[in-house]
Amino acid sequence: MSARPAAGGGRWVDVPPERLARWVENFSSRHGGHTVHGLVLTGTDGATAELSPPPGAPPVADLDDLHLQASAPRRIGLLLARKGAVAAGIADGPELLSSKVDTHYVQGRTAAGGWSQQRFARRRDNQAKAAAADGAAVAARVLLPGAGALSVLVTGGDRTAVDTILAAPALAALVPLRHDRFLDVPEPRRAVLEEAVALARAVRILVRDARPVR
């Protein structure tokens, strides 16, 4: 499980469906018991945990329904892109069924000025366009044949790179499947794609600790 600071206070925690029941038990133990209202847990000490269903799960009304739907099998598409690298895959539950990882060189920034800077900018722009075209080809090869069976498409990496890839007309069928959860992952590699499967299946929880008594 990972934890990250949340805008406005608190922290985000990603919990695998298989560990959700234990996480709730531990939350209750840490905070002196808890009450449940919908998908919000409130500890006796005032701490709260707001749970969100994983991508592709239907809306749920309570914790029992969340347990059921989070663990239900779903076929998930994944598209990760960053710095000319792209990874696409299809997962069924925790298992990665098919995948493709590709890299395309894109120059970094330079401090040079004048004509050199202009030539560099044109070259870098051409490289970025070629990387996006290659990324779209990878996504089409891996995701389009099984798009009809996907519950959701989860993306991650660099948002601009992903948006550019999905702007390709050939990938129009994938756009309505895209979930608003965006994964913060490093440059895509096979291992990163496998870790992204777990993140895409996770129940995301916003935890806010109790405010100290003054």
Please give the pLDDT value at position 92: 96
Q: Which sequence spans correspond to the domains of the chain?
A: 2-72+202-208, 75-200
Which tops the pLDDT comparison, 72 or 132? 72
Averaged pLDDT score across all residues of the chain: 89
**CB neighbours of 112 closer than 8 A, spacing ≥ 6?**
120
* Torsion over CA: 124, 160, 151, 55 (sign): positive
Please give the pLDDT value at position 28: 97
How would CATH label the architecture of 75-200? 2-Layer Sandwich (3.30)
Measure the CA–CA gap between 155 and 163, rounded to whole angstroms. 9
> Does the pLDDT value for residue 59 go beyond 70?
yes
Please give the pLDDT value at position 124: 55
Please give the pLDDT value at position 104: 66
**CB neighbours of 51 closer than 8 A, spacing ≥ 6?**
39, 40, 41, 63, 66, 203, 204, 205
Distinct helix (H) and strand (E) counts, the chain: 5, 11
State which amino acid sits at residue 43.
G
> Does the pLDDT value for residue 158 go beyond 90?
yes
Which tops the pLDDT comparison, 211 or 85? 85
Report the candidate in 11, 15, 65 with the shortest Cα–Cα distance to residue 199: 15
Percent of the chain whose predicted confidence (pLDDT) is above 90: 78
> Does the pLDDT value for residue 183 go beyond 80?
yes
> Does the pLDDT value for residue 200 go beyond 60?
yes
Q: Give the pLDDT band (50/70/90) at residue 83.
A: confident
Q: How far is CA 88 from CA 37, 79, 81, 210, in A?
A: 38, 5, 9, 40
Please give the pLDDT value at position 8: 86
Please give the pLDDT value at position 192: 97
Q: What average pLDDT score do residues 200-204 get?
A: 96
Report the candidate in 197, 199, 177, 202 with the shortest Cα–Cα distance to residue 91: 197
Q: Give the pLDDT band (50/70/90) at residue 108.
A: low
Q: Give the Cβ contact number of residue 174 at 10 Å.
A: 22
